[in-house]
């Protein structure tokens, strides 16, 4: 995955323009390279950048390819409401991975173990692609609502013939880690 924040920092601090970068990527992307680079710069991942695209982009910008990469993991349909999980996700956003793991281990909330599981998976994804695990930080920790949990449709009877719905919510947890680069 492409680290959009780092890409924008590099482009802003250099003399490169989008057209220059697109012209150097035409061999790997074809005729739609200008549109793809604009989309990536704006955070829209269409087309999804592959590893060879990121390597070519890094070579054009004269940086290491690992600076432009980010690794993510997801937990879809986690059995807790998004509102509760967001409280814990806000604690780790922007922190070093080891600090985030320590915070999650000692947070007395049910969702902390779920987020810790996703964080460890993202770190394992980065380690598999031979990233420096000691310099990783949590670039993004996002929680989206997923609606009612599967299999929890129903009503609870109330007084005078009324019925209240049973609403057990689910959420999607997304964690992205990237390498911290000092300048």
88 with 15, same domain: the answer is no
Q: What's the CA gap between 8 and 6, in Å, rounded? A: 5
Last residue in a domain, options 51, 67, 83: 67
Whole-model pTM: value is: 0.78
Task: Give residue 93's pLDDT.
Answer: 92
Pick 183 or 144 by higher pLDDT.
Answer: 144
Q: Give one DSSP letter per residue of 39-103, joined into a string.
A: HHHTT--SSPPPHHHHHHHHHHHTS-GGGSBEEEEEEEEESS-HHHHHHHHHHHTTSBHHHHHHH
117 with 150, same domain: the answer is yes
- Tell me the three state secondary structure of residue 9: helix
119 with 37, same domain: the answer is no
86 with 145, same domain: the answer is yes
pLDDT reading at 56 higher than 90: no
Task: Dump pLDDT digits (tens) for 6-22.
Answer: 777 777 777 777 777 77
62 with 75, same domain: the answer is no
Question: What range does the domain containing 147 cover?
Answer: 70-179
Q: What's the CA gap between 141 and 139, in Å, rounded? A: 7
Q: Which residues contact 175 (CB under 8 A, 6 or more apart)?
A: 72, 73, 74, 115, 118, 119, 121, 122, 138, 140, 141, 142
Task: Dump pLDDT digits (tens) for 119-171.
Answer: 999 999 988 887 888 889 998 999 998 888 777 778 889 999 999 888 888 99
Last residue in a domain, options 12, 37, 67: 67
């Amino acid at each position: 995955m492409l680290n959009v924040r780092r890409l924008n920092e590099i482009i802003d601090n250099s003399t490169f323009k989008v057209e220059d970068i697109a012209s150097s990527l035409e061999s790997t992307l074809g005729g739609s390279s200008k549109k793809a680079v604009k989309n990536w710069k704006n955070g829209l991942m269409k087309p999804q950048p592959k590893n060879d695209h990121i390597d070519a982009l890094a070579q054009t910008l004269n940086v290491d390819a690992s600076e432009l990469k980010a690794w993510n993991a997801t937990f879809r349909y986690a059995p807790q409401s998004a509102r509760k999980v967001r409280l814990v996700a806000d604690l780790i956003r922007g922190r070093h991975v080891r600090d985030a793991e320590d915070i999650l281990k000692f947070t007395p909330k049910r969702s902390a173990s779920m987020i810790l599981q996703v964080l460890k998976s993202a770190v394992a994804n980065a380690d598999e692609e031979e990233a420096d695990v000691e310099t990783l930080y949590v670039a993004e920790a996002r929680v989206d609502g997923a609606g009612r949990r599967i299999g929890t449709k129903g009503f609870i009877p109330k007084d005078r013939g009324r019925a209240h719905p049973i609403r057990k919510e689910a959420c999607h947890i997304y964690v992205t880690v990237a390498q911290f680069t000092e300048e």
